[in-house]
A and B are shown apart, each in its own frame.
Chain A
Amino acid sequence: MPAISFLNAGLLWALPAVAVPLLIHFLSRRRLPEVPFPTVQFLRALEPREIRRIRLRELLLLLLRTLAVLLLVLAFARPSLEPRGAVIHAAAAVGILLDDSESMGALDEQARPRMEEARGRARAIVEEARPGDETLLAASTEPDAVTAARGSDHVRAARWVDQQAARPLPARMAQALERLRRDLGQSRLKARELYVISDFQRSNWDPAAVRELHAAAEAGTRVTLLPVVESRVANHGFTGADPELKPGPEGRGLELRARIENYADAPTERLAVRARLGETLVGAGDVSLKPQESRWVSLSIESRPAAEGGDGRAPVILEADRDALPADDRWYALLGTPERVRVLRVAESRGGTPPPRYVPLALDPAGDRSSGFEVEDAGPGALSSLAPSRADVVILEDLASLSADAEERVRAFHRAGGGVVILLGPHADPQYYTSRLLPGLIDLALDGVERAPAGSVFELRARLPGHPILEGLTVSVGGPLSQARLTQIMRGRVLSGRAQTVVSTAGGLPVVVAAPGVSVLLGSFAEEWGDLAFSGAFVPLARGIVQSAAHAAGAAEEAHPYVGARPMARLAQPPAVALSVRGPEEYRSQASVEAEGAGFRAVADAPARAPGIYEFRAGEREIAAVAVNVDPLESDLAPEPLDSLRARGREEIAVLAGPSVLAAHLRDTRRGRELASAFLVAVGILLLGELALGSARVLRP
């Protein structure tokens, strides 16, 4: 049963005013004017018939006036209806988690800045705080910096809200929720509320974040989700750039490649892409992307841009047409410093014959690392010292099986962020791979060797043209992969959606299967199984397989440092003096140096706060630079379905879309549903009724 309470209960002392109409009524009856009249015989005849009607009307008028005064007094006392379950009048500990991650810098469906909407919601909550309330404020990118404000200190809380802006960082929802839940739990106040204001990007809501959300609800906190967008907004953005300039078409000029992705379910317009060196335009190109397509766009460059540093690197800024999320429409790259992927290729000699070196040749044909690959050939014994410090990717080529120790090393390497490439072949034991090595790395099972029917071969078909493994090839879905043919392949079964068939035979048997950090070739580059190593597809395919495993694993993170991570640079020689790092927006940091494989790496002490070029300096001399970009993790702007966040039995996780719904919710939970306006309307109606009923009571002067 809803209860009525009064927000201005002090005004109820005016309730005796309801006696005023009663007094006026009775006093006016007693003080009726006496009018001498020649005769009352005509009135007397009429009176009995009218008197009942008059008295009834008098009573009605009295009732209307008394009610009007009563309701007027009550309206000024601000009555409020307390909805069932609302915690009114009890001070509450209110946690506000404001998402300030990169995607909050995007526009919403109505082209309004998401952050502005989010600040508006947060401000509404803060302004409704009552004396005695405690407000805890946290931003999703800085979960450890919780700001507390007393209920009456609206200014402090409002100032915090106004200072929040979208930052080029991914949200750390789980950590932020965990911190707020803990702080709310420590409050002496029993009523606790947690408001999450976010665009609820799918990438932010991993199982850990969802768990924290539910944990807060289970702890008795009223959790309310305030989405600032409801649907996906179209967006495109850079995901990478090839620092190596390639010869231009027909040998003219140079070509700079940038990778750009369309996250929308609709094709893009023709996007213009420009490259700038400082303020000078050095290259341009354009591209049209299909829905969900990721591809390289070529920018024609007349000549190699003049380098700034002594190492021949030129920092360029790539820019695409701006759209919903401007942060990912710009990409920093250092030309002349191709990614260097350190590859440990493990193969074994058989019968004194060394294994064929097709793969090392494909990756680093000149042996000078200019292709971006640094290949180390080794036997299975090298696996005992496999570690991320030695290699980014390990290639297991045509190995029958691994020792238990080597197998464990490979798994640890993968867990530590290393990429694993498995090239099966004539000597691989499918049973071993199926039962021992593959589980935990990739959901793939092998059923033995499949031979092509006599007189025919397996022709290869592309299944996922946009996949990084195929990025060096021009193919369409189901299109042939050059003239590559295989006579035998390992018969494989993909066991779950976490593994993807990138290349298959024309008959649908998987040939190349990829999972995060793992690529498996079920055919072979060896001559026994076909002529793949001699086809035009060989080099790009081999490089794609290795590159994909390297990128999908942690190795790529160092090659593409993102804002929020500490800038890192590889050095050939250890510096003689202490290193400092300078970056955009007055970034200054020290750097520490540690040995890494044959070289060294320098890591800044402070994380990068903004995208741009970060320079590593030994004294005044620049010895290395690194381009830091915004993590494209949130660029898809795909919101998580909120039902999936709240669907948990008895937990009360409310979703309030729109500022007016929030305002009503706050009003209900803070003050109850105010009835003053309804009361005033009722007073108006009563007075109108009084006017109609007693319209003839206007005195003539």
Chain B
Amino acid sequence: MTANAAPGAPPRRLLDPVFVSKLARIDLRARFVVEGFLTGLHRSPYHGFSVEFAEHRQYMPGDPLRHLDWKVLAKSDRKYLKQYQEETNLRAMLLVDTSASMGYASGGLSKLDYARSLAAALAYLMINQHDAVGLFAFAGGQGELIPPRASSAQLRQILLALERLTPGGTTDFAGSLHRVAEHSTRRGLVILLSDLLDDPARIESAVRHFRHRKHEVLVFHVLDPQERRFDFEREATYIDLETGERVTTRSQDLREDYRARVRAWSERLRELCIARRADYVAVGSDTPYDRALLEYLEKRARLY
């Protein structure tokens, strides 16, 4: 599925992380991403449309004809689509990792930037669908919690919180996520955006905790492309962003082994999630946002 498959569809670059990151305001980013995404979903089964009429929208080439308001067409000879408001009881919680390692950027867009934009888009989408959404940005066992609500004010609050996020501290799933899990009494959807640089056992423990609380869990494993490729070409001293540990080596000597280890680690995380019936989606900070949004919609469709 491509954005330019239909005439009038917004350009694909609206879903390109780098392009989106150039927009200063995060609310604009969220809107661009979501609208660009939804417009491109003209043949998708994920309409997100309910039975209750909400408003009209001008017909765009490629839109399905079944939502065309024939009466308006007959009266005014203008093509409008009927849009419906969906009723839902989804409560989603966006967990955004703000540890220091999330600040890494090999190509201008850090993992945190990516996660922030993705979280904003998800929040925008959810609020527009009248889902309740909350935010928990965490690092080093600390975090800022915004409980889920479905109001447009909630969206503003979430977007403001996301905009303020800065990387720092260590990834601590045990401390942060367990605390969130304790406070989330009503079952819902937990969306975790993190580089998961923690002990896998601790990650599993946190996921298990959410699952124990009957939450659905969707894990976006955000990695910088360079973290997968390790494509440096000269000897250097590598400094761990979280621990400050230093390792001096030549990437070309270790590259193959490194990649194998990262693949094995990702695979282990994926299996760990599957084992706990959580969804695991590996994304790079250069992955277009529609991939993540689709994953979310699929998940939501399975839930409701």
Contacts and interface: CB of A to CB of B under 8 A. Distances in A.
A36 B227 CA distance: 11
A39 B237 CA distance: 12
B253 A40 contact: no
A696 B251 CA distance: 10
Nearest to B255: A696
Contacts of B242: 38-39
Contacts of B117: none
Interface string A487-507: 000000000000000000000
Interface in B222-274: 224, 227, 232-243, 245-250, 252-254, 257-258, 261-262, 265
B262 A42 contact: yes
Contact of B101 (A38, A51, A700): A38
Given A33-B234, A43-B258, A45-B261, A38 B250 contact: no
Given A38-B197, A699-B233, A50 B249 contact: yes
A28 B238 CA distance: 16
A13 interface: no
Interface in B186-212: 195, 197
A39 B250 contact: no
How many residues of B sit at the interface, in one of the four size bands? 20 to 34
A699 B238 contact: no
Contacts of B246: 34, 40
A576 interface: no
Interface in A6-61: 28, 32-47, 50-51, 53-54
Contacts of B261: 42, 45-46
Contacts of B296: none
A598 interface: no
B231 to A, nearest CB: 9
A698 interface: yes
A697 interface: yes
Contact of B248 (A32, A36, A53, A697): A32
A37 B241 contact: yes
B254 A34 contact: no
How many residues of A sit at the interface, in one of the four size bands? 20 to 34
B250 A54 contact: yes
A40 B236 contact: no
A281 B237 CA distance: 101
A50 B243 CA distance: 22
B241 A35 contact: no
Given A32-B236, A33-B236, A699-B234, A39 B101 contact: yes
B241 A36 contact: yes
Chain B contact surface mostly: mixed
A34 B236 contact: yes
A32 B235 contact: yes
B104 interface: yes
Nearest to B257: A46
**Residue from A34, A39, A51 whose CB has the most chain B CB atoms within 10 Å:** A39
A556 to B, nearest CB: 94
A697 B239 CA distance: 21
Interface in B100-120: 101-102, 104, 111
A227 B245 CA distance: 80
B249 A47 contact: yes
B239 A34 contact: yes
Given A33-B236, A37-B104, A54-B249, A43 B241 contact: no
B220 to A, nearest CB: 16
Contacts of A44: 245, 247
B237 A32 contact: yes
Contacts of B262: 42
A50 B255 CA distance: 11
Nearest to B242: A39
A50 B261 CA distance: 15
A60 to B, nearest CB: 14
A39 B261 CA distance: 13
A35 B254 contact: no
B238 A35 contact: yes
A45 B238 CA distance: 13
A363 to B, nearest CB: 109
A46 B236 contact: no
B301 to A, nearest CB: 33
A47 B261 CA distance: 13
A37 B240 contact: yes
Contact of B253 (A28, A45, A53): A53
20 contacts: A35-B236, A37-B238, A37-B240, A38-B102, A38-B224, A38-B242, A39-B197, A39-B240, A40-B240, A40-B247, A41-B197, A42-B258, A43-B247, A43-B249, A46-B254, A46-B257, A47-B249, A54-B250, A696-B233, A696-B252
Interface of A: 28, 32-47, 50-51, 53-54, 696-700
Given A36-B104, A38-B102, A44-B247, 12 more contacts: A33-B234, A33-B237, A35-B232, A35-B238, A36-B239, A37-B241, A39-B241, A40-B239, A40-B240, A42-B262, A696-B233, A696-B253
Q: Which 4 A-B pairs have the closest CB atoms?
A: A38-B101, A696-B252, A40-B240, A37-B238
